[in-house]
Structure 1
Amino acid sequence: MAALAAAALALAACSTLPGSSDSPSASSPAASSQPGTSATPGQQPGPNQTPGQAVAPGPNSQGTFDSVHAAQVLSPTVALIIVTTTAGTGEGSGFVIQSAGGTSYLATNNHVVQGATKVLVAMPDGRHYTASVQGADALEDVAVVKVGDNLPVALFADSTRVQVGQPVVAIGSPLGSQGFGTVTVGVVSALHRTLSNVSGGDSRSSEALADVLQSDAPINPGNSGGPLGDGNGHVVGMNTANSSNAAGIGYAIPSRIVQRVAQNLIAGKAPGHPYLGVCFMTVEDALARDPSVKGYGVLVMGVAADTPAQRAGLKNGDVIERVDGVDLNNGQTFGGVIQLHNPGDPVRLTALRSGAKLELNTVLGDRPPGGGPTCNTP
């Protein structure tokens, strides 16, 4: 999981079992109408959503947050995922994101199902199935598994509307079957965190870094792949990692990224990874080296040859302040804005060069294997 394997992190990962479990046959009690199976009345699916998914009208305030309600809405869609590999058996979490015609798809983390020889899905209503891995994306740490039944569907909220301080619930199986459907409560502590083991040193960052939410809702082994929900019981992120160096810090992949990747996997497509081809450091980090740096956003430290960045006309020393009109300040990151796009999308960059504003246009590429050509940085 290259994009989320920071040295200071511990994946919320599968909890390890002492031995393999027998394969349970699919148990199919009559399906019933359950919370999370349909959109809120009057809501229409967004342009990047499949039927049965809805964008939440907005985050609930602390004063109206009801964790019991959120858990009642979301919990019926959350599964325990039991994975057998050549190394043994482990457990993680997942949640149903699409269901129609006797087939349901669940989102989970790639690191939960990586190397699986057998995948079992257990639902809170007692139904359990042998599942197949529909597809996986190691870079974004998103995978989709498929089962042959209609299951209650979780609704996605728009993670770009999540606010710092917003209360959330994390649902999963931190102790495997012993902790099935555990609910923990916290708040969104920060937005647009970048977590990776890929760096250029001296605080330089690669655009391939993931953009994740930080919360203080307790996340432990077995929570991987479970949902982070808002007060409406809608999914704002997928829990993926916690900090090994501090308590009360957990990370979740934003719902917009989970949706984009999962929908491609369900369609049998390889998910694209938007790519510009620039190496950079934040202006805040650059100021520690050179107090004369102007502007805000990110300082371009290198432009890779034959990339969208080069074709846009970016140069070393440019400061990118906006992407498609979104200011790279107040916690908004370059990687966070780019991650919301698909390869082939046009983007407009607002940059500062020698004190003058520039408007540069280009079309995002697809990240090449291995991250693409290296940047020549000073």
Structure 2
Amino acid sequence: MPTLFRTLYRSSRYLLTAVLLFITFPTMADEPPSQDMLENSIVKIYVTSKAQTSYSPWNADSIASSGSGFIIEGKRILTNAHVVADHIFVEIQRDGTPKRYQATVEYVSHEMDIAVLKIKDETFFAKGKPLTLGELPDIHQEIMVHGFPIGGDTLSTTRGIVSRIEYMPYVHSGLSYQAIQIDAAINPGNSGGPAIINGKVAGMVMQKSDESAENIGYIIPTVMINRFLTDIADGKYDGFPSFSVEIQNLLSPTLKQKYQLNEEQSGVLISKVCANTSAEKALQENDVITHIDGKNIDDDGTALLTQRKTINFQHYLDLHQVGDTLTLDIVRNGKPQQVKLLLDKADESDYTYDKEPRYVIYGGFVFVASDVYEGCQTREDYDERKDKDKKDDISITQVLAASGNLGFHDLSSLSIKKLNGERFNTFEEFYKRLRSSTTPFIILEDYSGYEVAIDRKLADSEHDDIMEQYSIHKDRSKDVAAWDKELAQK
């Protein structure tokens, strides 16, 4: 073999060998984390929380529970919001060691079911490295779930595959976001643990399916985790933007013809624009939204997620921060145009966490306040409302039987509309009117006209005896005490 040919042959052979080695052996960055690293980076979270009810808001039962979490950048622990909801005390423990470290909840998104914890003793981070957040996985990829399910104190690992990626309600808030379904076994205590693919976190364990479905669990994908971490980067959690319209899919060819869409156009129909929102300035009822941030919306309300998968188009709204501007292509009266929608309102859940009950006991009646949840209303309905400034609902949740409330002992869950014939907007307004009344009787009226009468002098004279008889040590919540001081100064 000629010398030149032999030299080229050897060089190409060495180059081919090097390429094969590079392909065959992964780089250090792609190597899966060792068991030692996982044991030091994945933690068990012990939580003491309180459970309070509107029926007896002065009582707070102590509940012990546990969950999982893992170290992320910035000397922080990532876990689920439901793991630390209504917490009093939080502790962190590594696998294989009895020592526990006290932690605090730094940020929490009950909407997204994500929380970030800080550990007071930062020597904890001398061991363990932050786990790397990966990308959205493919369907059928193998996934490993790590955590501390109940029944043991050591790190548990289960294996499964990615079954589907969908847009669905999160149990903790009832709000819908992107989620990944897996078939790995998930049990109580796994919540907050990482699900790992190829050495990187693909998501955080969130919830399992109901009892009728075996080995179906859901994880929060990293795209949503990163969205949350970006939100809190400025030191404040703003939440997820609200899409202040109600929409209808356009699967009906007849409807598409009515709203003058051609065969190439697709989208969703706006059936209602929520009053008193920025959406009123940009959108109208009967507009058809065809694109969101340049992505085409199909008639079933989905947009492309990957080359082969689609997802509810509102996922692309969720990726925005409150205060961002959303670009929408619409068809209005048959004419295409583009609008900018200011996302200035955060989405809200009906569920309440990490808040003390607001209540007062008077005349044996237990009055409890709750935030008014404002649903989407048309401008016409909103303008006709007489209580558009109402912020709090007040309900009688139970009656502590006494001589001054005879005839009402079986009363519960009564929502109050008026006090002495007048409406009120806030708990503070209700309480101040209740305590400053000088009439012999206080008359409460519900929304159907049912009346409750309180003998004011008898209620005042019996109050201490009622508290003692029912062993109630606190007859009002903290916020009420400040209002008493204002009333005393008048």
In which range does the TM-score fall when normalised by the shorter chain?
0.5 to 0.7
Q: Distance in 1 between matches of 2:191 and 2:315?
A: 21
Deviation at 1:75?
Answer: 5.2
What code does the residue aligned with 2:376 have?
A: T
Task: Give distance in 2, aligned partners of 1:227 and 1:68.
Answer: 17
State which of 180, 199, 203 in structure 2 corresponds to 1:237: 203
1:156 matched to 2:118: no
SS state at 1:259 partner: helix
**Residues 137-286 of structure 1 aligned to structure 2 (within 5 Å):** 137-147=109-119, 148-149=121-122, 150=125, 151-159=128-136, 162-175=137-150, 178=152, 180-195=154-169, 209-231=176-198, 233-244=199-210, 245-262=212-229, 264-265=231-232, 268-281=235-248, 283=249
The residue that corresponds to 1:202 in the other structure is: none
> Alignment partner for residue 311 of structure 1, among 281, 285, 289?
281
Partner of 2:455: none
The 2-side partners of 1:263 and 1:128 are apart by 29
Contact conserved, 1:70 with 1:169, CA < 8 A, in 2?
no
The one of 78, 99, 107 equivalent to 2:42 is 78
SS in 1 for 2:310: coil
Residues 266/222 of structure 1: CA separation in 2 closer, same or farther (3 Å cut): farther
Find the counterpart in structure 2 of residue 117 from structure 1.
88
Deviation at 1:358, TM superposition (A): 3.1
Gaps of 5+ in 1: 1-66, 200-205
1:58-73 counterparts in 2 under 5 A? 69=32, 72=35
TM-score between both structures, scaled by the size of structure 1: 0.67
Per-residue CA shift, 1:288-314, capped at 9, x if unaligned?
Answer: xx453445454322111243332222x
* Conserved? CA contact 2:162–2:183, under 8 Å: yes
Q: CA deviation at 1:91?
A: 0.9
Output one character per residue of 1:346-371: Cα deviation in whole Å (capped at 9) or x when no partner. 22112345655432222222316567
Larger Rg: 2
**In the TM superposition, what is the alpha-carbon distance from 1:263 to its structure 2 partner?**
5.2
SS at 1:366 equivalent = coil
Q: CA deviation at 1:251?
A: 1.4
Deviations along 1:304-355, whole A, 9 cap, x unmatched?
1243332222x33333332112331442222211111101222211234565
Q: 1:180 to 1:344 in 2, by over 3 A?
A: same
- TM-score of the superposition, structure 2-length normalised? 0.53
Percent of pairs identical after alignment? 30
> Separation in 1 of the partners of 2:346 and 2:207?
24
CA distance in 1: counterparts of 2:114 and 2:105, whole angstroms:
11
Alignment match of 1:367 (pick from 342, 346, 357): 346
Paired residue type of 1:361:
K
Q: In structure 2, what is the Cα distance between the partners aligned to 1:296 and 1:190?
A: 25
Q: Counterpart in 2 of 1:129?
A: 101
* Pairing 1:333–2:312 present: yes
Q: Cα distance, 1:68 vs. partner?
A: 9.6
User: Which of the pair has the greater relative contact order for Cα pairs under 8 Å at 6+ separation?
Assistant: 1
Q: Which amino acid aligns with 1:69?
A: P
- Root-mean-square deviation (CA, aligned residues, Å) is 3.2
Corresponding position of 1:93:
68
Question: C-alpha separation between the residues in 2 aligned to 1:291 and 1:85?
Answer: 53
Aligned length: 291
Assess if the C-alpha contact under 8 Å between 1:346 and 1:362 holds in 2.
yes
Q: Secondary structure at the match of 2:254?
A: coil
- DSSP-derived class of the 1:275 partner: coil
| CA distance in 2 between partners of 1:85 and 1:140 (Å) | 20
Equivalent-residue separation in structure 2 for 1:165 and 1:308 (angstroms) = 42
Give the letter aligned to residue 311 of structure 2: Q
Code of the aligned partner of 2:32: H
Which residue of structure 1 lines up, in the alignment, with residue 291 of structure 2?
322
Structure 1 equivalent of residue 382 of structure 2: none
Alignment partner, residue 477 of structure 2: none
Call closer, same or farther: CA 1:258–1:271 in 2, change over 3 Å: farther
* Structure 1 counterpart SS, 2:103: strand
- Pair 125,256 (structure 1): closer, same or farther in 2 beyond 3 Å: farther
Matched residue of 1:257: which SS? helix
Report the Cα distance in structure 2 between the residues aligned to 1:326 and 1:374, rounded to whole angstroms.
26
Name the aligned partner's letter for residue 81 of structure 1.
I
Q: Distance in 1 between matches of 2:73 and 2:172?
A: 33
For residue 55 of structure 1, what is the aligned residue in structure 2?
none
Separation (CA, whole Å) in 2 of partners of 1:339 and 1:195:
13
* CA displacement at 1:225 relative to structure 2: 0.8
1:236 offset after TM fit, Å?
2.2
The aligned counterpart of 2:403 is none
Deviations 1:248-274 (A, max 9, x none): 321122212223324545754123322
Structure 2 CA distance for aligned equivalents of residues 88 and 343 of structure 1:
35
* Compared CA separation, residues 296 and 250, structure 1 to 2 (3 A): farther
- Within 2, Cα distance between the matches of 1:350 and 1:168? 38
Tell me, yes or no, if the aligned pair for 2:167 and 2:179 is still in contact at 8 Å. Answer: yes
Compare the two structures and name the one with the higher helix fraction.
2
In structure 2, the CA distance between the partners of 1:188 and 1:325, relative to structure 1 (3 Å rule), is: farther
Q: Do the aligned residues in 2 keep the contact of 1:136 with 1:265 (CA within 8 Å)?
A: no
The separation in 2 between residues aligned to 1:83 and 1:265, in whole angstroms, is 23
